């Protein structure tokens, strides 16, 4: 996300436009320096519980930098931030929705949600949805489709690249045998990410005699339960728990296939990252995953929360190295065409222009 902000700021500066990035807390010095060198002013405005202070901070920042347009990001659409921005005199407000979720309420509850949505989104000039899945959910919540623009997330195509030697180094580090498939997943260990599906699929692969290792990077409240499940299923020697992974590049470059079992995934940076590294993806037929993965060309889509469906897809790729290689090349090409930082920035600039 910071790479997107950096390149977006640079593009605005090249157009003769000033930009200011407002964060909830001070940035690490090296990151703040990069942003300032890119042409951005940096301000801090804690949101927290003190809305009055936040409102005053916004006013100070907007006046100091003569702000005429605001891009609100990382807040729920029903937060007060768009209204606080409008009350400070900024009339062009672009809001970006990145959160996962599905509207399941019915009857009067649905009507109340739609009423709240109408009130909280009224100040917004344009609404960015990071996937068509998110757009459809926002429409169900009561936002007119004509106000919503779909603009997918993108990753750094210069950083997430294939590395032909990475697999051998990883295999030596973890004693992976030549015939073993290296599977990876980078995810939060939370229920909607459905990590238990991957643990159960690993157990099915073991029963079918498919040699495979799963390297799971991520942390969360489900970790202890997942480890216990792995022991019960007898897969403790097939799953490596890597914990929180600040930089997943090496893991992805070393893998044969990338897995994502999320249900109702909104945006999924990891999808474009894995595609950039030339990996075929096995993912749930849910949320944004089907928008990123071209089923049968850049990966395979499986039934959500169905370990057997995931195991079937993985087994197909495990048995066909040429197919994996072809899908990996297609995945990299698809990432370069649709899901890079630069495609994200170009689409964002077009949205800004339309909002003026």
Q: Which of the four pLDDT bands, split at 50, 70 and 90, describes residue 78?
A: confident
170 or 108, which is more confident? 170
What's residue 251's pLDDT?
A: 98
- pTM for this entry: 0.94
Q: What is the pLDDT of residues 142-179, one digit of tens each?
A: 999 999 999 999 999 999 999 999 999 999 999 999 99
pLDDT range class, residue 241, cuts 50, 70, 90: very high
Give the C-alpha distances (Å, rounded to integers) separating 139 from 87, 113, 114, 142, 147. Answer: 26, 12, 9, 5, 10
Give the domain CATH number at 12: 3.40.50.2000
The answer to whether 68 touches 88, Cβ cutoff 8 Å, is: no
Shared domain for 200 and 257, answered yes or no, is yes
Say how many domains are in the chain: 2
Candidate from 101-105, 251-255, 298-302 with smallest mean pLDDT: 101-105
Q: What value does the mean pLDDT take over residues 111-127?
A: 93
Could you tell me the end-to-end alpha-carbon distance of the chain, in angstroms, rounded to an integer? 24
Identify whether residues 150 and 175 lie together within a single domain: no
Question: Above 90 in pLDDT, residue 99?
Answer: no
Residues 321 and 176 in one domain: yes
pLDDT above 80 for 236: yes
- The predicted model gives 119-124 an average pLDDT of 95
Within this chain, do residues 178 and 326 fall inside the same structural domain, yes or no? yes
Q: Is the pLDDT of residue 40 over 90?
A: yes
Q: How far apart are CA 210 and CA 308, in angstroms?
A: 13
Q: Are residues 114 and 15 in the same domain?
A: yes
Strands 40-44 and 92-97: unpaired
pLDDT of 249-292, one tens digit each? 999 999 999 999 999 999 989 999 999 999 999 999 999 999 99
- Judged against a pLDDT cut of 90, whether residue 195 lies above it is answered with yes
pLDDT for 100 equals: 63
Residues 109, 170 share a domain: no
Residue 160 lies in a domain: no
Mean pLDDT score across all residues of the chain: 95
Same structural domain, 115 and 224? no
Residue 120 shares a structural domain with residue 194: no
Q: Is the pLDDT of residue 62 over 80?
A: yes
Q: Are residues 137 and 193 in the same domain?
A: no
* pLDDT score for 102: 61
- For residue 161, being part of any structural domain is answered with no
Question: What pLDDT shows up at residue 268?
Answer: 86
Which band of pLDDT confidence, cut at 50, 70 and 90, is reported for residue 101?
low
pLDDT at 55 exceeding the cut of 80: yes
> Are 295 and 217 found together in one domain?
yes
Domain that holds residue 211: 166-338
Percentage, residues of the chain above pLDDT 90: 89
Lowest mean pLDDT among 2-11, 94-103, 299-308, 336-345: 94-103
Tell me: pLDDT of 223 over 70. Answer: yes
- C-alpha distances in Å from residue 336, one per residue of 154, 168, 248, 356: 9, 26, 19, 29
Higher pLDDT, 107 or 90: 90
């Amino acid at each position: 996300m910071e790479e997107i902000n950096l390149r977006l700021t640079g593009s605005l500066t090249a157009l003769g436009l000033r930009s200011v990035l407002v964060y909830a807390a001070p940035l690490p010095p090296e990151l703040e320096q990069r942003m300032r060198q890119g042409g951005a002013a940096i301000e801090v405005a804690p949101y927290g519980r003190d809305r009055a202070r936040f409102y005053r901070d916004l006013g100070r920042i907007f006046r100091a930098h003569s702000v005429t347009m605001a891009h609100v990001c990382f807040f729920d659409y029903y937060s007060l931030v768009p209204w606080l921005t409008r009350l400070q005199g900024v009339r062009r407000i672009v809001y970006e929705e990145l959160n996962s979720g599905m509207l399941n309420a019915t009857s009067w509850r649905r009507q109340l949600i739609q009423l709240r949505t109408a009130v909280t989104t009224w100040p917004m000039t344009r609404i960015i949805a990071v996937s068509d899945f998110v757009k459809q959910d926002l429409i169900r919540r009561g936002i007119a489709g004509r106000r919503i623009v779909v603009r997918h997330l993108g990753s750094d195509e210069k950083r997430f690249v294939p590395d032909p030697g990475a697999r051998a180094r990883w295999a030596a580090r973890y004693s992976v045998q030549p015939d073993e498939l290296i599977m990876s997943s980078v995810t939060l260990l939370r229920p909607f990410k459905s990590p238990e599906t991957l643990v159960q699929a690993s157990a099915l692969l073991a029963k079918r005699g498919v040699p495979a290792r799963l390297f799971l990077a991520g942390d969360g409240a489900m970790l202890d339960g997942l480890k216990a499940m792995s022991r019960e299923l007898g897969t403790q020697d097939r799953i490596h728990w890597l914990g929180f992974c600040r930089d997943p590049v090496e893991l992805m470059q070393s893998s044969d296939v990338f897995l994502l079992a999320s249900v109702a995934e909104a945006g999924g940076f990891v999808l474009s990252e894995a595609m950039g590294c030339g990996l075929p993806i096995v993912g749930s037929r849910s949320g944004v995953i089907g928008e990123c993965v071209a089923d049968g060309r850049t990966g395979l889509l499986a039934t959500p929360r169905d370990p057997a469906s995931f195991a079937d897809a993985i087994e197909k790729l495990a048995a066909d190295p040429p197919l994996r290689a072809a899908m990996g090349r297609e995945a990299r090409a698809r990432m370069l065409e649709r899901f890079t930082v630069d495609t994200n920035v170009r689409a964002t600039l077009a949205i800004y222009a339309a909002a003026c």
